[in-house]
Structure 1
Amino acid sequence: MALVKFNNSRNLAPVYTPFNDLFDTFFGEGIIGDKALIKVPAVNIAETDDKYEIDLAVPGLKKEDIKISIEENVLSVSAESKEEIKEENKKVSRREFNYSSFKRTFTLPEAANANSIEAKYVDGVLKIEVAKKEDAKIQAREINIV
């Protein structure tokens, strides 16, 4: 499945009115720039014979900023990052703060073993592996024909 970003530009509108600019200012990128948007990390979920794999794209975070918890078969991944730029011995006319946070929750299937979860953070990708219960693993066997 491919995700396509919709671009609501003037050439797609049947009639151009001054209200287009007004709405673009309030609801587009005029007031809310890229840094101020709340961003939720992209996730890939895969299933193998013996585990579930959850990969979250969280570049720029430290592993100390990330918190993973599980409660009643719900896996929660959250992060909070706060960065303050300080310039000493200078007259500051502008100072920018960078704060970002997110929380994603995943309901684990009944086949998941909540007691066997491993996580690692490599190159901006958080990789979580949830093992399956023994009785849920696919058992391969050969069947004899009589």
Structure 2
Amino acid sequence: MSSLATIQKNGNEVSTPRHTTSRNATSLPRLSSWVEDLFESGMGTGFLSNFNTGMTLPAVNIKENAEEFFSEIAVPGMKKSDFNIDVDNKILSVSSERKEDNTTEGDNYTRREFGYASFKRTFTLPDTIESDHISAKYEEGILTVHLPKKEEAKEKPAKRISVS
């Protein structure tokens, strides 16, 4: 036995056949109609149009003490040689680009997998940074950039002035 069911499709109400069993219970829609509805809805096309177009930037922690700033950037799986760190006109740029190409050949198959990863983070440095002495190290997935302050910008301890 068949009846019509009203459903929403692309913002419009549409009547579709609904099949029932002899006990008058409704059955589930066909799998193909679920897939069709998924891709005709905003979710399906929105997902596909944004697939692999976003860029993930690594997380950054910035710490400051009286003598210096430290920037810690979480970039696991990289090598020291993968990083480019530049200072130009008070702009610190940290970037990386890595390409991998693995080809495996066997009895009756060839498999080729390749990957590409890149990022670029830029930071405007305050006037208090001694840009000639910036250094960096990479250890256990964390890139640490050391940004020393100029001597005149360092906090001085309080001192007592006597009255004469």
Sort the TM-score into its range (normalised by shorter chain): 0.7 to 0.9
- Paired position in structure 2 for 1:81: 98
Q: Is the 1:25–1:31 Cα contact (8 Å) retained in structure 2?
A: no
Are the equivalent residues in 2 in contact too, given 1:50–1:132 (CA < 8 A)? yes
Give the Å deviation of 1:24: 2.4
TM-score (norm 2): 0.68
Moved over 3 A (4+): 16-22, 26-31
Bigger shift: residues 16-25 or 109-118? 16-25
1:70 correspondence with 2:87: yes
Which one is further off, 19-28 or 78-87?
19-28
Question: Which structure shows the bigger proportion of residues in helix conformation?
Answer: 2
Q: Who is 1:25 aligned against? A: 44
Say what the alpha-carbon RMSD is for the aligned residues.
Answer: 2.6
1:11 is matched with none
Which of 45, 59, 69 does residue 76 from structure 2 map onto?
59
What TM-score, normalized by structure 1, do the two folds share?
0.76
Give the CA deviation at 1:145: 7.2
Structure 2, gaps ≥5 residues long: 1-6, 11-36
Larger Rg: 2
> How big is the shift at 1:38?
1.8
State the distance in 2 between where 1:17 and 1:79 align. 47
Counterpart-to-counterpart distance in 1, 2:48 and 2:142: 27
Q: Which of 135, 138, 141 is the matching residue for 2:152?
A: 135
1:31–1:105 distance in 2 versus 1, CA, 3 Å: closer
Written as runs of structure 1 = structure 2, the 5 A alignment for 1:1-146 is 21=38, 22-28=41-47, 32=51, 37-90=54-107, 91-92=109-110, 95-143=112-160
The match for 2:31 is none
Question: How far apart in 2 are the matches of 1:97 and 1:65?
Answer: 17
Relative contact order, higher structure (CA 8 A, sep 6+): 1
Deviation of 1:85 (Å): 1.8
Could you say which structure has the higher strand fraction? 2
